[in-house]
Chains A and B, each alone.
Chain A
Amino acid sequence: MSFLEIRNVHKHYGDIEVLRGTNLSVEQHQVVCLIGPSGCGKSTLLRCINGLETIQSGEICLDGDRISGPGVDLNALRREVGIVFQSFNLFPHMSVLHNVTLAPLQVLKMPRAEAEERAMTLLKRIGLEHKAKAFPDQLSGGQQQRVAIVRALAMGPRLLLLDEITSALDPELVSEVLNIVRDLAAEGMTMLLATHEMGFAKEVASKVCFLYQGVVHEEGPPEQIFGDPHEDRTRAFLSSIIEAGRL
């Protein structure tokens, strides 16, 4: 039994089927990359895992415990599964420090001094401790995304979901964000990330899954997926990426 098990998950919005029997597993300390064309269900799958979307059938298990369907304590689940979004979604009316400490203070009921100390340690790690008093609007996109990652890390999650976290960034800001993810991977953080950064996926992924029309069409180690894809769809997708100069 894997750490995260996604079994035959179906999800539709009205008539639009997004996930059509998706299967996926993630082992502890693995970094799994989801690639695939827009609208293939990458984001939806991530949002289903931490309960931001409900699924219609199938099941999702974390560490042997079912975390989908009725009766699940979503607030407890979300303490263990963090997510970082494409558009950062920092709280614009709060300082950086306040953004990071809000959940530890209110959800974990951590004492303020401890929460702030931990937040400062994390901010120091990403080199933004001098921005603790700044507001999100005063930061660059890359800085905002780094804060968003720290905000998720402050809850001490066991699984981190990253939803195309560099797609909204100017190209020169991408590396500062990816460096953090690289560090986290080296430390053994279990991560599931949807990404268009193929070079990065190739470098950090333990496993790459090609998602097409709501199912995992092909999965395997990065060398195999990028070097010797077996499926036609995967090949077509990757060649269009190469044509765009992104790999």
Chain B
Amino acid sequence: MNRHEPREAPRRAASSPPPAFPLAFAALAVSAGVIWVAWAVLLHLHRVLLANGLEQRWMDGLLVGVGLLPLLLLIPVVRSFIYAAKARAALTGSDLAAARVQTAEAREWAQYAIGYAVATVLVFLGIQFLLANGGAVASTFFKLELIRSSFGLVLEAFWKNVWMFCVAEVFILIWGLIIAVARMIPGRAGQPIRFLAIVYTDAFRGLPTIISIYLIALGLPLANVPWVKDWSPEWLAILALTVSYGAYVAEVYRAGLDSIHPSQWSAARSLGLSFGQTLRFVIIPQAVRRIIPPLLNDFIALQKDTALVNVVGVIDGFNQAKIIASNRFNLSAVTTVALLFMLITIPQTRLVDRLLETEKRRIRA
């Protein structure tokens, strides 16, 4: 046997770690800069409060308290320096392994300080933006007195948005499934139906929702279309939203139905189940579980798009807020409705993320 002799591998030269002090100094510089910016912004805020006669003892306390917070950035900076010094000591004692560990710690703390410093400066710059123009920005968007006095009116109108998207969602779920199944009908007989379903989804996914609301909710009564012409603008808007979002949701359904492995079709059909029975008992129940996250995403978009119905004169939350805004020359009521929209959609977006995460875990398991 002529085997290769194992060759002596060349020993890798132990490398000394990169220096830790420059990064620690950088972290110190960045943190100091951020602290300076924060204090400048807070001083500015103090002046604006004085100018508006809003100055109070507890507010000063609050400002000082907030001013102290950026100083916390110095804690990781100090740690970074401590570890950098330890690293240098280890290096002079030529303990390379210890030096590497201490250097890694020093760099880690320096990066930590820089990350928090960047986030802090962004927050304070945001405050500075609201203070711009002697506080005019803040009072245009956040005039508390106007928010309080108009809240009832805006909330009442906002219920119309809630009602519209709830009703529309039910119709969209049904309509989207019909379109999705129409796109899957097999055989030559199904060809024209498949074709129409494709034309429909392409057309309405290409059409901006605001235009389809405009065309349907204004156009149908204008054209005197029998039966439909007597509908209220709200119901016509719901029709427009259903037709428009039905196209998107049909695609979501179709992706879900396509994602079921063909072997499930084979198994069901081989037992004698018909096309329809296979869809109903085997494919759709599995697909629906998978499409809940993308479906919720589309519904969040729909909920926000209910604000578009103002183009046909429905008094929804946004339209009501616009009326108040133009009467009072201040946008705070619009801020109210914006916050209301966020209030109902943010929990749903969090939920979607959670569902996607569990789905991912399930597939990997």
Contact = CB atoms under 8 A, between A and B. Distances in A.
Interface of A: 47, 50, 52, 74-76, 78-79, 82-83, 85, 87, 89-93, 102-103, 106-107, 151-152, 155
Tell me what chain A mostly uses at the interface: helix, strand, loop, or mixed: mixed
Interface of B: 263-264, 266-274, 277, 281-282, 285-286, 289
- Nearest 7 pairs between A and B by C-beta? A89-B267, A103-B271, A107-B272, A78-B272, A89-B263, A79-B272, A83-B270
Nearest to A151: B271
Nearest to A80: B272
A155 B272 CA distance: 9
Given A82-B271, A89-B267, 11 more contacts: A50-B270, A75-B274, A78-B269, A89-B264, A91-B268, A91-B281, A92-B286, A106-B273, A106-B277, A107-B273, A107-B277
Contacts, number: 55
Nearest to B288: A93
A87 B267 CA distance: 10
A152 B272 CA distance: 10
A146 B145 CA distance: 72
25 contacts: A47-B266, A52-B269, A52-B270, A75-B274, A76-B272, A78-B271, A85-B266, A85-B267, A87-B263, A90-B267, A91-B268, A91-B281, A91-B282, A91-B286, A92-B286, A93-B285, A103-B271, A106-B277, A106-B281, A107-B271, A107-B273, A107-B277, A151-B271, A152-B271, A155-B272
A78 B274 CA distance: 10
Contacts of B266: 47, 52, 85, 89
B286 A82 contact: no
A47 B264 CA distance: 14
Please indicate which of the listed interface residues A75, A82, A85, A155 has the most CB atoms of chain B within 10 Å of its own CB: A75
Nearest to B289: A93
Contact of A91 (B267, B269, B274): B267
